[in-house]
Amino acid sequence: MKIKPLGDRVVLKKVEAEEKTASGIILTGAAKEVPQFAEVVAVGSGIVDGKEVQMELSVGDKVIYNKYAGTEVKLDNEEFIVLKQEDVVGVIC
């Protein structure tokens, strides 16, 4: 059971602060007012009203996003955020 994001949206899975990512990177901080780290788990088609928005993100990307954007959803006891690509501000690399 998965979420297929519509249009230029992506689905993110939250990465807990201080958590070790798959590649062994330790993400520190994430204090109260700072944005969350997350991992891209699904990418929309990019088609918005017949026009194509170039999707720059790929599944597996670790990203920083605007925490006031998007829609939170809980599925099978996991928390996801569905938001437009433009609300992702950067990729951690």
Task: Return the residues of window 5-64 that contact its own copies according to CB under 8 A.
Answer: 5-7, 9, 11, 25, 27-31, 33-35, 47, 49-50, 52-54, 56, 64
Give the residues across from 48 on adjacent strands. 51
Measured between alpha carbons, how far is 53 from 58 in angstroms, rounded to an integer? 14
Give the chain's length.
93
Three-class SS state of 85: helix
Which CB, 22 or 50, lies closer to its own copies?
50
Measured between alpha carbons, how far is 38 from 91 in angstroms, rounded to an integer? 10
* Minimum CB–partner distance for residue 87 and its own copies (Å): 9
| Residues near its own copies, by CB under 8 A | 1-7, 9, 11, 25, 27-31, 33-35, 47, 49-50, 52-54, 56, 64, 66, 70-77, 82, 85-86, 88-93
